[in-house]
Amino acid sequence: MTNDSITLSDKTIGRLSLYRRVLERTPKNNKPIGHIFSHELAALAGFSAVLVRRDLMTIGFSGNPKKGYDAAELLDCIGKFLDAPGGTNVALIGVGNLGRALLAYFTYRRPMLSIVAAFDANPEFTNRVIQGCRCYSPDDMERVVQEKNIRMGIIAVPSVGAQDAADRLMRLGVTGFLNFAPVALRVPSSVYVNQIDMTMELEKVAFYARQTKE
């Protein structure tokens, strides 16, 4: 039914992720949603109804003009696109303030996306379990990444260590990064980097907040 040969735009896969969480979370009169209309899903996710319909169209998911979309089937269909069949194992590099918050949040939250190991250069954090996740020394990276079949990395170390951390993980076969350090990672085109620059996001808000206030 669903086929990965379709190309999804970057924006669309982000929205699919959000549709899924909204559907998982939102109960309708205390029982799971049966069917949902595009405009309902749009309101929950914060987009327009036509955009929802087009996203679902691109993944080849069909609804019923009278009842809307079957929520359970839609969840399944989105999962077929977003999730790797056996789940994806993630490494966290840097167990500082941000890293610990991420561990606390993501541990056991997404069944198909697990942070299975954390690494930190500070011996204070290594060889213990933090927020339910085992924390290792960077020296153990080669062994642990291979043992645990880690495919992607979250970089939450200071800027100066970010490129080095990425380089080491790439040598071990990691092909995707979520990078919180405000520095541009140099990677080959076969590796995907998603850069989150919170300072930039904050300054953007400050800019617009000022525009509307004055």
The residue ranges that bind ligand NAD (CB under 6 A) are 93-99, 101-102, 104-105, 119-122, 138, 156-159, 161, 164-165, 180-182, 198-199
51 binds DNA (CB under 7 A): yes
What residue 121 binds from DNA, its own copies, ligand NAD, none (CB within 5 to 8 A, per partner kind)? ligand NAD
Neighbours of 61 (CB within 10 A): 21
Residue 164's alpha-carbon distances to 145, 167, 171, 172, 185, in angstroms, are 16, 5, 11, 13, 9
Contacts of 157 (CB under 8 A, 6+ apart): 93, 94, 96, 121, 165, 181
How many Cα atoms sit within 13 Å of 206 on the Cβ side? Answer: 6
Closest CA to 116 of 156, 76, 85, 88: 88
- Interatomic CA distance for residues 51 and 53, integer angstroms: 5
Amino acid at 71: A
195 binds its own copies (CB under 8 A): yes
Taking the complex as a whole, the smallest distance from the CB of residue 149 to ligand NAD amounts, in Å, to: 21
What residue 64 binds from ligand NAD, its own copies, DNA, none (CB within 5 to 8 A, per partner kind)? DNA
What residue 72 binds from ligand NAD, DNA, its own copies, none (CB within 5 to 8 A, per partner kind)? none
Taking the complex as a whole, the smallest distance from the CB of residue 135 to its own copies amounts, in Å, to: 16
Taking the complex as a whole, the smallest distance from the CB of residue 190 to its own copies amounts, in Å, to: 5
Instruction: Output the six-digit token pair for 35.
Output: 């069917």
177 binds its own copies (CB under 8 A): yes
What residue 208 binds from ligand NAD, its own copies, DNA, none (CB within 5 to 8 A, per partner kind)? its own copies
46 binds DNA (CB under 7 A): no
- The single residue among 49, 170, 172, 178 that binds its own copies, judged by CB under 8 A, is 178
What residue 13 binds from DNA, its own copies, ligand NAD, none (CB within 5 to 8 A, per partner kind)? its own copies
66 binds DNA (CB under 7 A): yes
**Three-state helix/strand/coil letters over 28-76:** ECCEECCEECHHHHHHHHCCCHHHHHHHHHHCCCCCECCCEEEHHHHHH
**Collapsed DSSP state (helix, strand, coil) of residue 24:** helix
172 binds its own copies (CB under 8 A): no
Q: Which residues bind DNA (CB under 7 A)?
A: 9-12, 37-39, 47-51, 53-54, 56-57, 61-66, 68-69
